[in-house]
Chain A
Amino acid sequence: MTNWTPEAKQNLDEYLGEIRALSQAQGDDAQEIVDDLRVHITTETEDASGSVVTLDHLRRTLAALGTPAEVVGGSGSTAERAPRMTPSAQPGTAGLASGSPVAQGPYGSRARTLIYLFALGLPIFALGFEILLGAMAELYIDPIPTMWHVAAGVLLLLSIGTVDHFLKKARDGHAPKWAGWAFFLNSYAFALSLVYFLVYIPILPVSIIALIAYGLGLMGFAPMACMIASGYQMKMLFRFLPELGVERQYATRRAILGSALVALLVAGYAGPEFVGTRVLQMTLSEDAATRDRGIWWIETLNLENELLKACYAPVVRGIGPTRRWDTQDIDNLTHYRELYFRLTGTPYNSVPRPNIRSTFRTRSVDWWEEERSADSEVGGTAVAGRVHGLSLNASHLDGKIMRLGADPSSPALGYFEWTIEFKNVSDRQREARAQIELPHGGVASRLTLWIDGEDREAAFGTRQQVREAYQQVAVVQRRDPALLNVVGPDTLLLQCFPIQPGSTMKLKMGITAPLIVRDGKSYLRMPFISERNFTIAPEFEHVSWVECDPGITASAPRMTQEAGARGSIALHARMKDADIQRGDAVIVVESGSPAAVRYAGQLGAIFGEMTTQGSPAAPSAPLLCVVVDGSSSKEHAHVDWAAFVDALPDNARVDAVFAGHAVEVFSDVPIAPSAALSDWLGTREYRGGCDPLPGIERALDIVGSQGGAILWVHGPLPVELSSVESLRQWERWHSMRGDEGALRVLAVEAVPGPNRALEQLGRSAFLERVPVLGTLDETLRYTATHLTGADVAQEYAVATTMLPGAPLAEGLGSAHLVRLAVNDEVRKAMLSHDASLQRETATLAVEARLVTPLTGAVVLERKEQYERHGLDPTKHEEAIPGIPEPEEWALLLVVLAMLLMVAVRQTRARMLLRN
């Protein structure tokens, strides 16, 4: 059973009604004609339509039957449909029906020519021209910034061409197959060209100027031409519905599908950026509710990458080819960097710089991006974000472990020379910046920079002196300096600039460090990079060789042992950057039971001594408060708190503060530490990045007035989230009472990384960094056992002090001992808050050529530069004698062995000749 739509029925009745009237007027049997026609129409339409006859089906049938006038007018009326023959056409052939019919009709050859010229020819020419020469991209802005834009454009042109083919077929009376897809393609072409037209509106004036001035800029007009052409094709498609054999509803559905595809493409391409920009702006709002909503959207939509992009200076505005980069306000940068840490728990510069490139060509938008992203923090005091094209090219860590006395139990010192090479593959000058974490108690004692293949030693001066010199030479004169400063406890900031495009820069740092004595063993941890603005490839390895003096028995979990000369040993390793940061990247020296001994040393006119005590003063801690950073680090979350609690003495009173997004307190009062404490710490929600300072303040409230120890388990804190002033107030209060030692904050680094709070608290009397030697759990257990006074029998302390003159000892030990002693003097001067003492000590530290909280090191290019800044560069002979690289001494050994062999052979030969 076939149903007719009301429109179709009505149209049929109207059609037959007209025929009836005309037939009657001509005196024909109107009823018979109408009846016959009705049967014909019904048969044909229902055969073609299936179950429902629509108006379109009917129109197709009626188109074949002719208009009422044609039908009733008989053969005479067919003249209206007969072709107008040209004289060259042959009568009596098919040419009568199909020859040259439509030059001026719907979708005639004139319209098609225009489409071919402007909607196909022009865009193809402009696209090809732009891809090959990139003229517009060079002049102003890249109109086709990605391959996706090219692909979309090519598909658009193919759509216009295909629709043209369908329309030509329909116009010539051939119903093409798959005609429904013509509506889809046409709609896609129209919608996409409309989008491009809107996006290109801002560049149209430039295109007009470029066209007039240079004859270029056709690309700007291409979307408009395509939009007009596809709009016209759309009109024609709906006009030729019967010829195409497509019903209107079906065609409309296909057209909607084409537009939807474009909407989807646009949303997929520009959506995240568009939404990201809006959401990020919400987080800047002064209204707390709006800010919270913005943060909620970032987490919900997983817009961390967009947030990371916002942490860098350039910010994207606009979409598609007209997108551009603006430099944003520094306050916004700080805000986004804080927010990134709060949401992810990781510093923004600890992950690779986000890819905000959007072009597949070398210049244009990339070039703009480069210009915009020019490192605005050159010569600053922060490591800041990663820069393009700068990487660590080589890292050689040569160390030596020396024992102060002949006794195997005498203390040992370590000295490292770390040679680092940076490589810049970008087309801009770059500054390398990095925070270097030293071995516990270490001090930088040498800085060498290679300029034009020559090694130049650093000059040492006050912090202000060396920074001014660096900034003047690096930032203003753009010459070759390097700067090394202290930024926090055992933490240095290294800067060198400029690393020229396509070249490398090599420098060397000397680091003196004491070995940490624990349980009859001495430990020396490797220095490492804790924050950087350059890339370290995942496969990159630091090569380390540590030579031990003869008689020293040493081992290292991550290093292999090699036999050296005269019974000495060397430890060798190639370590990934992540591995060298681990707590177990440590050298362990067998020490035996120490005795109370004094060792003296000389460095020029400076003398110092080191003393060991078999049983140091027990650092009693009647009250211990554990402050745990609530950041989302697995190291925090996976601490074996049960083992930690077990290691605590039975009589210890322990409270715990969880410094998460809110501060939570666990008070184990009045009983001894229990499993409940470890359960409580283990079940906290470690999420995002948290500010530990409110937690420390809370802990100070708990233990502050009574005195005790605060054990602060922390991770990186790359931003200053709150002030340390309240901690300083406690410090001043204890200082006034004269019981500075009563309050201690023991900082245990669970995850290596920059920590702004530690940097600020560096000069605090009550802050102590607990060296992480081994795993975090081992360090926490050790701390729980020893630093609460539970078990101090196995520990002994090493102290260095300055001597007023040459000691009467028979022999003087290593100059490194004196360096450590001077470093210790600086620390004491810093805590004294006595300006004159600090000035005196700074002079001493400059004389000892050390990088301390009062002094720094700078390498400049020329002598005049040193003189201008009142600096005296270290002469080669004054520099610490370098450690021969293993390759060198191995070569020397080989050469000696060969010489020996030659000598032996010659001797034998002479003896044979004599015989």
Chain B
Amino acid sequence: MSETSQNFDLSNWVTQARKGLLELCIVATLSKGEMHAYDLVKHLAGIKALVITEGTIYPLLSRLRSAGLLQSRLEESSLGPVRKYYALTDTGREAVRLMGAYWRELVEGVGELVESEHNHDELDTRGETEP
């Protein structure tokens, strides 16, 4: 194990990388249609790689609504409390498009870098050098 890896805090990097990603996940999920807040939270909490606590989604929903990306409506329920549904606004849909395009560009570019680094490591392991 190298000295660099010992000092490197992976979890902190994961947190930083995840910043903003959660908002993309919310709008991307809602791009498929209106969704009950509770269901939306459960859906996102089920994505293990995100490592989120359910509670963190509600402030984000509130912020996205304040930013005009989302709109909400209330619906009475005979089984329990009033149900709140979230949906994308037009601005939200546009934001999804832009954010999606950026995400793909980011993945492609960063992906190439990561892939090339990965291949280099493999060649080193086999004792070969690139021309």
Seen from chain A, the residues whose Cβ lies within 8 Å of a Cβ on chain B are 19, 23, 26, 28-29, 32-33, 36-40, 42-44, 46, 64-66, 70-79, 81-85, 87, 89, 91-94, 96-98
Q: Are A75 and B15 in contact (CB under 8 A)?
A: yes
Q: Are B38 and A43 in contact (CB under 8 A)?
A: yes
Q: Are A29 and B56 in contact (CB under 8 A)?
A: no
| 16 intermolecular pairs with C-beta atoms under 8 Å apart | A29-B66, A36-B37, A42-B81, A64-B53, A65-B53, A65-B55, A66-B56, A70-B53, A74-B56, A74-B59, A75-B15, A75-B18, A76-B19, A78-B53, A79-B15, A96-B49
Q: Which residues of B contact A43 (CB under 8 A)?
A: 38, 80-81
User: How large, as a class, is the contact surface on chain B?
Assistant: 35 or more
Q: Are B48 and A40 in contact (CB under 8 A)?
A: no
Alpha-carbon gap, A77 to B22, bound state (A): 13
List the A residue with the shortest CB-CB distance to B2.
Answer: A87
Quick check: is B58 within 8 A (CB to CB) of the other chain?
yes
Given the contacts A36-B37, A39-B38, A42-B81, A74 and B51 also touching, CB distance less than 8 Å: no
Alpha-carbon gap, A513 to B59, bound state (A): 116
Alpha-carbon gap, A96 to B48, bound state (A): 8
Q: Are B55 and A82 in contact (CB under 8 A)?
A: no
Q: Are A33 and B14 in contact (CB under 8 A)?
A: no
Given the contacts A85-B11, A96-B49, A73 and B37 also touching, CB distance less than 8 Å: no
List the B residue with the shortest CB-CB distance to A44.
Answer: B38
Pick the contact of B62 from A28, A78, A97 — CB < 8 Å?
Answer: A28
List the A residue with the shortest CB-CB distance to B6.
Answer: A87
The A-contacting residues of B in range 8-24, CB under 8 angstroms, are: 10-12, 14-15, 18-19, 21-22
Instruction: Report the minimal beta-carbon distance from B46 to chain A, rounded to whole angstroms.
Output: 11
Alpha-carbon gap, A29 to B67, bound state (A): 12
The A-contacting residues of B in range 26-45, CB under 8 angstroms, are: 37-38, 41, 45
Q: Are B15 and A76 in contact (CB under 8 A)?
A: yes
Q: Are A46 and B80 in contact (CB under 8 A)?
A: yes
Alpha-carbon gap, A699 to B51, bound state (A): 102
Seen from chain B, the residues whose Cβ lies within 8 Å of a Cβ on chain A are 1, 5, 10-12, 14-15, 18-19, 21-22, 37-38, 41, 45, 48-49, 51-56, 58-63, 65-66, 80-84
Q: Are A78 and B51 in contact (CB under 8 A)?
A: yes
Pick the contact of B49 from A40, A44, A93 — CB < 8 Å?
Answer: A93
Given the contacts A32-B62, A36-B37, A36-B84, A96 and B14 also touching, CB distance less than 8 Å: yes
Q: Which residues of A contact B58 (CB under 8 A)?
A: 33, 36-37, 40, 71
List the B residue with the shortest CB-CB distance to A82.
Answer: B11
Q: Which residues of B contact A87 (CB under 8 A)?
A: 1, 5
Instruction: Report the minimal beta-carbon distance from A40 to chain B, rounded to whole angstroms.
Output: 6
Alpha-carbon gap, A215 to B112, bound state (A): 66
Instruction: Count A-B pairs with CB separation below 8 Å.
Output: 116
Alpha-carbon gap, A82 to B11, bound state (A): 6
Known: A28-B63, A29-B62, A85-B10. 4 other contacts (CB 8 A): A37-B58, A66-B55, A74-B56, A75-B52
Q: Which residues of A contact B53 (CB under 8 A)?
A: 64-66, 70-71, 78, 81
List the A residue with the shortest CB-CB distance to B23.
Answer: A75
Alpha-carbon gap, A32 to B65, bound state (A): 10
Q: Are A40 and B54 in contact (CB under 8 A)?
A: yes
Q: Which residues of A contact B80 (CB under 8 A)?
A: 42-43, 46
List the A residue with the shortest CB-CB distance to B47.
Answer: A97
Pick the contact of A75 from B12, B19, B49 — CB < 8 Å?
Answer: B19
Q: Which residues of B contact A37 (CB under 8 A)?
A: 55, 58
Pick the contact of B10 from A44, A76, A84 — CB < 8 Å?
Answer: A84
Q: Are A72 and B11 in contact (CB under 8 A)?
A: no
List the B residue with the shortest CB-CB distance to A85.
Answer: B10
Q: Which residues of B contact A93 (CB under 8 A)?
A: 49
Instruction: Report the minimal beta-carbon distance from A537 to chain B, rounded to whole angstroms.
Output: 76
Q: Are A92 and B49 in contact (CB under 8 A)?
A: yes
Q: Which residues of B contact A81 (CB under 8 A)?
A: 51, 53
Q: Are B49 and A94 in contact (CB under 8 A)?
A: yes
Alpha-carbon gap, A93 to B49, bound state (A): 6
Alpha-carbon gap, A345 to B56, bound state (A): 85
Alpha-carbon gap, A73 to B45, bound state (A): 16
Name the residue among A37, A46, A93 with the largest chain B CB count within 10 angstroms.
A37
Alpha-carbon gap, A76 to B48, bound state (A): 16
Q: Which residues of B contact A91 (CB under 8 A)?
A: 10, 14
Q: Which residues of A contact B83 (CB under 8 A)?
A: 39
Q: Are A97 and B11 in contact (CB under 8 A)?
A: no
Q: Are B37 and A72 in contact (CB under 8 A)?
A: no
Name the residue among B49, B54, B60, B63 with the largest chain A CB count within 10 angstroms.
B54
Q: Which residues of A contact B56 (CB under 8 A)?
A: 66, 70-71, 73-75, 77-78
List the B residue with the shortest CB-CB distance to A70.
Answer: B53
Q: Which residues of A contact B49 (CB under 8 A)?
A: 92-94, 96-97
Q: Which residues of B contact A28 (CB under 8 A)?
A: 59, 62-63, 66
Alpha-carbon gap, A96 to B13, bound state (A): 12
Instruction: Report the minimal beta-carbon distance from B40 to chain A, rounded to whole angstroms.
Output: 10
Alpha-carbon gap, A66 to B5, bound state (A): 29
Alpha-carbon gap, A83 to B14, bound state (A): 10
Q: Are A78 and B54 in contact (CB under 8 A)?
A: no
Given the contacts A23-B59, A33-B59, A42-B81, A97 and B14 also touching, CB distance less than 8 Å: no
Q: Are A71 and B1 in contact (CB under 8 A)?
A: no
Q: Which residues of A contact B51 (CB under 8 A)?
A: 78, 81-83, 96-97
Alpha-carbon gap, A97 to B14, bound state (A): 12
Alpha-carbon gap, A83 to B49, bound state (A): 11
Alpha-carbon gap, A70 to B1, bound state (A): 32
Q: Which residues of B contact A42 (CB under 8 A)?
A: 80-81
Alpha-carbon gap, A78 to B50, bound state (A): 9
Alpha-carbon gap, A23 to B12, bound state (A): 23
Q: Are B62 and A75 in contact (CB under 8 A)?
A: no
Name the residue among A33, A39, A87, A91 with the largest chain B CB count within 10 angstroms.
A39
Name the residue among A28, A42, A46, A79 with the largest chain B CB count within 10 angstroms.
A79
Given the contacts A28-B59, A36-B58, A96-B48, A83 and B38 also touching, CB distance less than 8 Å: no
Alpha-carbon gap, A70 to B82, bound state (A): 26
Q: Are A39 and B54 in contact (CB under 8 A)?
A: no
Alpha-carbon gap, A98 to B49, bound state (A): 10
Alpha-carbon gap, A92 to B50, bound state (A): 9
Alpha-carbon gap, A73 to B52, bound state (A): 12
Q: Are A82 and B63 in contact (CB under 8 A)?
A: no
Name the residue among A42, A65, A84, A97 with the largest chain B CB count within 10 angstroms.
A65
Q: Which residues of A contact B45 (CB under 8 A)?
A: 64
Instruction: Report the minimal beta-carbon distance from A37 to chain B, rounded to whole angstroms.
Output: 5
List the B residue with the shortest CB-CB distance to A36.
Answer: B58
Closest 7 CB pairs of A and B: A66-B53, A71-B55, A65-B55, A79-B15, A66-B55, A85-B10, A82-B11
List the B residue with the shortest CB-CB distance to A39.
Answer: B81
List the A residue with the shortest CB-CB distance to B5.
Answer: A87
Instruction: Report the minimal beta-carbon distance from A662 to chain B, rounded to whole angstroms.
Output: 81
Alpha-carbon gap, A81 to B54, bound state (A): 12
Q: Which residues of A contact B60 (CB under 8 A)?
A: 74-75
Given the contacts A28-B62, A42-B81, A94-B49, A82 and B14 also touching, CB distance less than 8 Å: yes
Pick the contact of B37 from A23, A39, A76 — CB < 8 Å?
Answer: A39
Name the residue among A40, A64, A70 with the largest chain B CB count within 10 angstroms.
A40
Instruction: Report the minimal beta-carbon distance from B84 to chain A, rounded to whole angstroms.
Output: 6
Alpha-carbon gap, A19 to B57, bound state (A): 13
Instruction: Report the minimal beta-carbon distance from B54 to chain A, rounded to whole angstroms.
Output: 5
